[in-house]
Amino acid sequence: MKPSRQLFVAGFCLVVLVLSQWNTFSAEPAAPGGAETKSKAGKRKIAYVTNGVDPFWNTAAAGVRAAEKEFGIGCQVLMPPKGIVDQQRMIEGLLARGIDGIAISPIDAKNQVALINEVAARCPVITHDSDAPQSKRLCFVGMDNYKAGRAAGRLVKEALPDGGKVMLFVGRLEQLNAQQRRQGVIDELLDRPMQTLDQATYDPPGKSLAGAKYTVLDTRTDNFDYARAKANAQDAMASRPDLACMVGLFAYNGPQCLEAAKEAGRIRQIKIVCFDEQNATLQGIIAGQVHGTISQQPYYYGYESVRILQGLLRGDNSVLPPNRFYEVPIVEVRKANVETFWANLKKMQEAGR
């Protein structure tokens, strides 16, 4: 090789080395919450992590997709099928690959504070659906679960104006939203005063709670196992012939209670109150087999989570709500408004496709 050519090659390699080092150490300004986000080509990437797999989350995902288009940001939706271990693995994978922001629905808030704080040290993190208020999350997006529980309790009172025995059904009580929702139902049925979320006390499960007109017999958990959820309803009806109402606190619980009541020939004899907007629940309200349901409007969980995260990534802290709580209003769905509600729900789901 001639000396002039050697000098040319050496000079070219030096330029490449300098440029590569420049790209390595160039970074964007720090994101809110002390998290730094590295520069990437193309759209920023965020993740929306649920606490399980359910049609409820499909509606939330529709909100994510609508916001993704509107705000020009890429978003990955992750639904852990096997609980907290899967959720942690997914979050650790996102951090390893380099994510710009995460919205997470904690499965076990108390024991996931360290994980959420680890995310917060790397990128903006918010919670949705279920909160972890002791963590360093920047805000929570969702309904006031305690107030929603009280609204469900009022539906029970409408269905059983003369009182009666009530059983509650839920996936798991480790989630803060389940605890708050359950307590709201109990406090409403026992005519207790309203509690505030920051000072709430919770009745432990496993014992009967009696009021003047209503008795909450127990709370049955199923760990997101639909077959077990149905078996819990079947067992409750078999063991308590005086059971008057079943309340499903998670989206799938109501439909499983409904199916169990149908098979037992006790439909309409046992009143059913639900949460959320599964098709079976809404059809049950139309048919007069379900008294009513409390909708969280999960579409807005997804939409608002994306809106807030993309604002934070632009350095716009004004997207953070007062008290770091963006409250999505509930909708009480009964026979009088179920068809209008369902039509609007379908429009939102279509908008997110």
pLDDT tens digit sequence for 183-223: 999 999 999 999 987 788 999 999 999 999 999 999 999 99
Give the single-character DSSP code of 109: G
Q: Where are the domains of the chain?
A: 32-143+298-328+338-351, 145-295
Per residue in 62-91, pLDDT (tens digit) is: 999 999 999 999 999 999 998 899 999 999
Separation of alpha carbons 291 and 35, rounded Å: 47
Q: Is the pLDDT of residue 22 over 90?
A: no
Q: How far is it, in rounded angstroms, from Cα 39 to Cα 58?
A: 31
pLDDT value at 31 more than 70: no
Q: What is the mean pLDDT of residues 165-172?
A: 97
Residue 6 pLDDT grade (very low, low, confident, very high; cuts 50, 70, 90): very low
pLDDT score for 28: 31
Nearest to 163 by CA among 220, 129, 210: 210
pLDDT tens digits for range 116-140: 999 999 999 999 999 999 999 999 9
pTM of the model: 0.84
State the architecture of 145-295 in CATH terms. 3-Layer(aba) Sandwich (3.40)
No. of helices (H) and no. of strands (E), the chain: 11, 13
- Note the pLDDT tens digit of each residue in 329-341: 999 999 999 999 9
32-143+298-328+338-351 shares its CATH topology with 145-295 = yes
**308-347: buried (b, 16+ CB within 10 Å) or exposed (e) per residue?**
bbbbbbeeeeebbeeeeebebebbbbeeeebeebbeebee
d(CA 3, CA 88): 57
pLDDT attached to residue 351: 79
Q: Are 64 and 310 in contact (CB under 8 A)?
A: no
Sheet strands side by side (includes 214-221): 209-210, 214-221, 164-170, 243-248, 271-275, 292-295, 331-333
Task: CATH number for 32-143+298-328+338-351: choose from 3.40.50.2300, 1.10.10.10, 3.40.640.10, 3.50.50.60.
Answer: 3.40.50.2300
